[in-house]
Amino acid sequence: MEPEALEICPYNPQHRIPLRRFQYHLASCRRKNAPKAKKTASCRYNACHVFPIKQLEEHEPACVNRSTGEEEDSLSPLKVSLPSSEQTGNTPPTFVPQKLTCESDTRESEREDHTPSLTSPQKIIRPGE
């Protein structure tokens, strides 16, 4: 059996924690070391990366967990450009709401259509007729 990798706690360097328990340890140790926790922040790409706030600004651009498709300013609003009707040469599609029905609703309405209504006249069949 291979020995498990140990991580060093950023709040207390004496703590050596197995990687599988590291995130749980960080949460509990952060509560126990509130003064030190106020001076640190977690990386936005990996919550287990905890650094002093000044070092975090250097870490995030080079973080190994950062995906390649992310923009520098990921907090900016999403920018979407839709083709205008002048560019495409036709009118934009219009939304037409439609009533959605489930298959079970359709079966129930068919049964209701076949059942006699209480207001329609009904033929009464008596025994012996």
- Please state, as a whole number, how many other Cβ atoms lie within 10 Å of the Cβ of residue 50: 20
| DSSP-assigned states of every residue in 11-74 | S-TT-EEEGGGHHHHHHHHHHHTHHHHTTEEE-SS-TT-EEEHHHHHHHHHH-TT--TT--S-T
pLDDT band at 67 (very low <50, low <70, confident <90, very high): confident
> Which pLDDT tens digit goes with each residue over 13-66?
999 999 999 999 999 999 999 999 999 999 999 999 999 999 999 999 999 998
pLDDT number for residue 111? 58
Given this model, what pLDDT does residue 66 score?
87
Residue 41's pLDDT is what?
93
Q: Evaluate if residue 95 carries a pLDDT over 90.
A: no
Quick check: pTM over 0.85? Answer: no
